[in-house]
Structure 1
């Protein structure tokens, strides 16, 4: 299986841009929460595995 790296800041920026393109104006905190929810969803579904930066 190939390695997938997901940068949470990049994920938050992506969500922010998609919301704006749908004429929704989120706050910074909204984006952070949505990014975390989406990331946790991917971990729960075993699409990705969370690896702490200090474990590298």
Structure 2
């Protein structure tokens, strides 16, 4: 979240952006894992591989 907070002074917007990215990455990671021990690594991989298209397709803000 710190990386997001560093790019803008609007803390609400940067927090929403960070949580949205984490949520989408977590959803992608959860589709690949076979157990709880593998989730952490899959989550980090999903964060690194996340694309703008992933966010456009999966992010749900209301």
Indicate the TM-score class for this superposition, using the shorter chain for normalisation: 0.3 to 0.5
More helix by share: 2
Give the structure, 1 or 2, with the largest relative contact order (CA under 8 Å, sep 6 or more).
1
TM normalised by structure 2 equals 0.35
